[in-house]
Structure 1
Amino acid sequence: MSTNSDQSLEMSSPKDPITAAYYPELAKIINNDPTSIERLEIECGMCQDKISSPEDKTCNAIIFPCGHMFCPPCVKEYREYNRSNGIPYKCPVCRFDLVGRVCGCPGKDTVFEPTQHQDEGLLTRLQEEISNQEGACVFCQMSMLVNGLRSIALYLHDPAPLIKDGHLLRVRAVKRDDWDVRIESDCSKEIKLLPISPELMELFRIAGDSLAEAWDGPRAPGDDTSPFDFQLALCKSYPEDHELWRHRRGQLEFFSVVKWHKCDITHPGRLAHARKDALELSKAFTSGEAFKKYNEHAANQEWLMGLIFDFIELEEEEMQAAFQRFKVEHPTLYAMAGLPLVGGILLRGYRFGSSLARRIRRGGEDEERSIVE
């Protein structure tokens, strides 16, 4: 009994255009008839546009480990959409799991080369690479670095004026020996650059040096140069309808209350907390498992800081009662949030949101379980 691939080979004639966008089928066609590369008319499986040009014998296509082929712009957009929305990365045609790294991103792209001999064992090797999970990709490591450093900077930069003026802090990191390796924690409009104090720069370097060592190995003895250039900037806050606005504002409120204005933490105390966070961030780059653990912790903190800004519309006494119940019924989440009730603390006088109030009143066992897991 012939397979679909065999039928494609049998039905193909020397004048037929080659439209197969499934690599195992395409490889067999080309290996059976090398001249077929002159008749490639392959369409992207997502946008349906042509990804091959018979005139100049080129084919700009990316092969997924499942064998389906797509144009690079669609692959880039698809990956970014999945990453930003927390969607598992799978082939849009067959739903094959494409995760090849501990951060959830795919491994290295495989670009189709329109040569007269194709490797029919390619997919086996690609799928073996996926099964041998790799470390985090450069983008995710750099994102973790600058987002962690932005949080550390808030120990030394009072969040209250930032909240009042509608501003936020942005951290940029650039690898000195490769300027293509650079990233910013935020993309909002820059107002001005801020000086980085020696004590803050020391903390930035603790984390940055650890990441550079993970990439390049230990530095030569006596080499004290920083592998990264860091920049700290004051930027405009995101508009209220932006997906990051809720978290960034919640983070500022959290630091303003817990680390600055309500708990009477001194500058040396904040600096000690900042150093502890910098050391924890540096450990995240030492192994895939450490990266995964830190990333899960950061996701928990992001969830909790987002909830902080959901706390509106409650009067002070009602909010205090809600927090006390939250503390008793969900001690794990309460400890993770780091929100001590000292002398009737209010988050800058905000009335807490009905969304979280309802969760606290009825209990949040399912949410606590999902966060802890």
Structure 2
Amino acid sequence: MQKAKICAVVILIALLMSRMGRAESPMIDSLMAQLDLMASAPDSAMERMGDSIASKIEANPNAVAGAIIPELNNSKLTDRQLLAYIWALSFTKDSAAVPPLIDLHQKHSSESVRFRCLSVLADIGGNRAGDYLLSRFDSESNEDTRYYLLNLLAQMQYEKALPRAAEILKVDPQKLYWQPIFIFGKMGDKGVPILLGSLGDKSKNVRMNAIVLLGQWLLSPAAAAPLKERYWQEKDRDCRGLILSAMELVSTDTALSRSFFEDVASKEKDKELAQFARESLDLLKTQRESIAQAAGPKTPSAEKFQIEWSELYKSTGLRGNYDSLAVFSTYNDEPKLKELREHILQRNSDEAMGDYMRVNNIILTNRILLGEK
């Protein structure tokens, strides 16, 4: 009797699963048809269709991945269809797609398909995807492709890539300033140790890029003491000036900042740098009042902050209200704000850098107004 009951339960489960599969199939068929339609549409229409399709994929990622992965070997697909299918896999985040994407990248003749495979591997993430991208970086000699791969690894915040990321600091900050910003801006605080270790590098480009990243972009409090020490070791005037600018942004210790700028104002032989330090001292005296006046009243709300944050994050900073995000945020929201600014840089545009700075302004304001006094 007991055995019969168990068999009945197993049969019932099998029937239910069968019905679920048949109910799911029309949705998958419809989605695949939409991907085919998107592949045949003009580029402008593809972008409009993308958001709707992406939402449907995210609602049932495993089933979508299960339908698409076998199609990657379908020789009858056009390149545009294949590009659409690969693009769709990025929203599934399904690690099962990593091996077939690697295989496709190695075998396919189309450069656009190969590059799309690399991009989606970064979107899916994980050690296997990261290791493959890193192996491609190590075997690549073309500078543009090396940057592309490093940018993908930074998007993943793949820590094994950090030693390789140091090479991007060698670029001329007057010409290719944006490359270190995108690489280390996406890496976030994980890149701080590499940057701190570069403050004494023999290359002026490396030192300048490291100082600017630690100060203007990452706003790293961990850099305050090393930058203060480095100032008196640094022989290059431009680098010393950048350190002064960085120290206005990174230190959360008012006493440390005041002591540093007082020393520079009294001991620095360069008149312009000494004057910069005196102006920084004057700023310290009034910054809390000035920023409070500029920022306006704050009404912190965890719930409202999360709503604004989610809208901005989902759209990589394109939709949402930065002013509201600032009003509802608190000092304790800094980790979430850092996560947002790193994500915004995935747009890889000048405008993204501007929006990154808008988030930095919120972080700075919260540190000065709401942080420890």
Alignment TM-score, normalising by the size of structure 1: 0.23
Greater fraction strand = 1
Higher-helix-fraction structure: 2
Structure with the larger RCO, 1 or 2 (CA within 8 Å, 6+ apart): 1
